[in-house]
Amino acid sequence: MNVHSAAGTGRSTPAAEVLARHPAVAEVVIVDEPGTPGGHARIVPDRETARTLSRSVSLEAADRLGGLAWHEPADTIRVAGLNRGETDFLYREIFVEGAYFRHGITLPRAPVVLDVGANIGMFSLRAGLAAPGARVIAVEPVAELAAAVRLNAELHGLDVTVLPTALGRKQGETSFTFYPHNSVMSGRYADAAQDAEVLRGYLLTGDDAGAQGAGEDPGGDGRSRSLDRLVGDRLAARPRRVPVTTLGNVIRDHGLTRVDLLKIDVEKAESEVLAGLDEETWERVEQVVVEVHDIEGRLQEVLGTLRDRGFDVTHDQDPRLVLTPCHNVYARRPRAGVGAPPAPVFDGVPTLRRLEGELRELLARALPSAPPP
């Protein structure tokens, strides 16, 4: 089954009539295909009851996907991403595990959120879907990823402004390393040897650990070679130049009188990003969540900076990252209070996966003896 902007030509059949009963289906035709007894169903999703699917069809028809692809990491959400593995990882980390909403971090109604190091915009989606009226400024210097943020915001009808720039102490330009097969580790301070060690540490303790080297020799040499090949593939680099501005400039240029949550995930550039805030713009920030790479005492440096600015601060480390220097720091001003993590609302369902399952069930009940399309 495929979804389309127009169903095209085909024949009306009992199966088509049954499929048309589903509220998410605006139009359906059955197209004959050799060797396929039930033919092929072409579906036009309804613009209201299947808003996300309808928008994704329109965006794809307008040639907006480029090198991206649609992924559905859960039955409730559809997003554009570079590859399925990273999309699934980001969804699990941000939506399922709530990595950025721990230790009392929450969002008020109609919040202002800065998503620095937005990648494909998964955190921007999490904030926008959880807080009605959210205004999100997403900062992402990689053009391919910034395009995904724009597409995902449009797909879900969210107010997200995308800034295709890096952040630092001052304006200018910088070299930047993009890892297309492991975009979450891309950054201006990428180091091939350090990044390989971090990735190895994650792969040895993370969700993929049990799968590494399956079927290799018991002595471990085969597993080590397999891991080295995997790391080398994921860290194939594309160097480029990107513009740099400061976080203070972003806040001023966009007229932000407050920032309810500042999220930073910039792969070893976190101190540079925070240094771009001056006294006046620091006062506008209510909560901060930042991934810190604890290299040369950086964790204590960031903790001290936030405490000196009046924040209550704590930090933790994902058990899957114990062999890496990666820590998450959570900071909030006492006036911000403590709240429960806001729950996302998915009102653009169904996804294609869910719709296909529901349509197959509908056909099985109505036409149990007929070959399904």
pLDDT value at 208 more than 60: no
69-174+239-336: in CATH 3.20.20.70: no
Q: Specify the pLDDT at position 262.
A: 98
Digit-coded pLDDT (tens) for 47-92: 999 999 999 999 999 999 999 999 999 999 999 999 999 999 999 9
Strand, helix or coil for residue 308 = helix
Query: What residues contact 82, with CB distance under 8 A and at least 6 apart?
Result: 67, 68, 69, 120, 144, 145, 148, 180, 183
Query: What residues contact 279, with CB distance under 8 A and at least 6 apart?
Result: none
What distance in Å separates the CA atoms of residue 82 and residue 182, rounded to the nearest whole number? 9
pLDDT-derived band of residue 218, with 50, 70 and 90 as boundaries?
very low
Digit-coded pLDDT (tens) for 103-113: 999 999 999 99
pLDDT-derived band of residue 245, with 50, 70 and 90 as boundaries?
very high
CATH topology of 2-50+350-366 equal to that of 69-174+239-336?
no
Topology at the third CATH level for domain 2-50+350-366: GMP Synthetase; Chain A, domain 3 (3.30.300)
For 186, the token pair is 């891309």
User: Phi-psi category of 133—alpha, beta or left, where left has phi over 0 and alpha has psi -120 to 50?
Assistant: left
pLDDT value at 225 more than 90: no
Digit-coded pLDDT (tens) for 180-207: 999 999 999 988 888 888 888 888 876 5
What distance in Å separates the CA atoms of residue 99 and residue 315, rounded to the nearest whole number? 12
Digit-coded pLDDT (tens) for 121-152: 999 999 999 999 999 999 999 999 999 999 99
Q: Specify the pLDDT at position 214.
A: 34
For 299, the token pair is 């964790």
- Domain borders along the chain are 2-50+350-366, 69-174+239-336, 191-236
pLDDT-derived band of residue 221, with 50, 70 and 90 as boundaries?
low
In 39-79, where does DSSP find H-type helix? 51-61
With pLDDT > 90 as the criterion, what percentage of the chain qualifies?
A: 75
